[in-house]
Amino acid sequence: MSALLTHLHPNTSELQLYISGGSFGTVPTQMLYGAPFEVFPQGRYIRGMLLLGAFPPFVQDHETGFDYTRSMNWRDYISVGPPSRFIPFRMLQHLAKFVIQSKLARQESAEAFIRAFLFDKMGEDEKKMYQAWRDKTGYEDGQLAREMAESNRRSVEKTWEGFLSTPEVLNSDWGWGVGLGGLDEEHRAGRRVLIVAGTEDDATNIEWARYLASKYSNSRLKTFSGGHIVAIFHMDEIWADFFAD
């Protein structure tokens, strides 16, 4: 990332960086946000971070009593929680790969998988938000699920290593672990953090979002009634809020 920014913006003194991520993408986003400046020099120019459906570091914060497993569903507890750390040879990950690989083999089955995981769970209020968003953006019914399915298929087209290593990354301390919220003044001054969560999100539950909001300086938590992708339907409002003075 540092090399890419240097190539694209050689005059780094004029940089103002705003970084964002959704779901698993919130992990590398937070890594960049808290990275030591000797490792990521351009981190000095980060002015804000936006997290949508965020993951925290999978640590036990004894000071606050936070236990990342407490609000996990059984699916995630097994696939990325403690069992995934202690069962050797990535056996659980390979089993999950075997199941998901068959679902992503064809575009049609990948779309059905995405619909079952994200869209079929929507309550009536969120379905109305989804319809209003489609009316506003011109998206056809099923287009968003189709695009998500295509992205999922491309993400494992060449290698499954990223998928297989997900539990290891989540369960590492990202270099700062329980020091989350204990960043030095340079990592806090002049930065804004907006954390967005769905109140019915069963993938990245709202307790995780509340914990992150309590640990990051200059942070705010914004919630919407809905599940894991509800933020998509409110992005204009979210961006306006994020950049508001």
**Residue 9 counted as domain residue:** yes
Tell which phi-psi region holds residue 197, choosing left (phi > 0), alpha (psi between -120 and 50) or beta. beta
Q: What is the DSSP string of 168-179?
A: HHHTS-TTTGGG
**Are the CB atoms for 200 and 206 separated by under 8 Å?**
no
Tokens of 236: 């204009």
Tokens of 130: 């989804």
**Residue 16 counted as domain residue:** yes
**Residue 158 counted as domain residue:** no
Strand residues in 135-218 grouped as ranges (E): 192-198
**Residue 149 counted as domain residue:** no
**Residue 43 counted as domain residue:** yes
What pTM value is reported for the model? 0.94
Torsion of CA 134, 139, 145, 149, to 10 degrees: -150
pLDDT in tens, the chain (245 residues): 999 999 998 887 789 999 999 999 999 999 999 999 999 999 999 999 999 999 998 888 888 888 999 989 999 999 999 999 899 999 999 999 999 999 999 999 999 999 999 999 999 999 999 999 999 999 999 999 999 999 999 999 999 999 999 999 998 877 665 566 678 888 889 999 999 999 999 999 999 999 999 999 899 999 999 999 999 999 999 999 999 97
**Are the CB atoms for 51 and 59 separated by under 8 Å?**
no
Q: How many CA atoms lie within 13 A of 126 on its CB side?
A: 19
**Residue 85 counted as domain residue:** no
pLDDT in tens, 12-49: 778 999 999 999 999 999 999 999 999 999 999 999 99
Rounded to 10°, the helix 107-114/91-103 angle is 110
Dist CA 172 CA 176 (whole Å): 9
**Residue 209 counted as domain residue:** yes
Instruction: Write the DSSP symbol of residue 10.
Output: S
**Residue 80 counted as domain residue:** no
Report the CATH number at residue 184.
3.40.50.1820
Range of the structural domain that residue 39 is part of: 1-56+180-245
| Tally of domains within the chain | 1
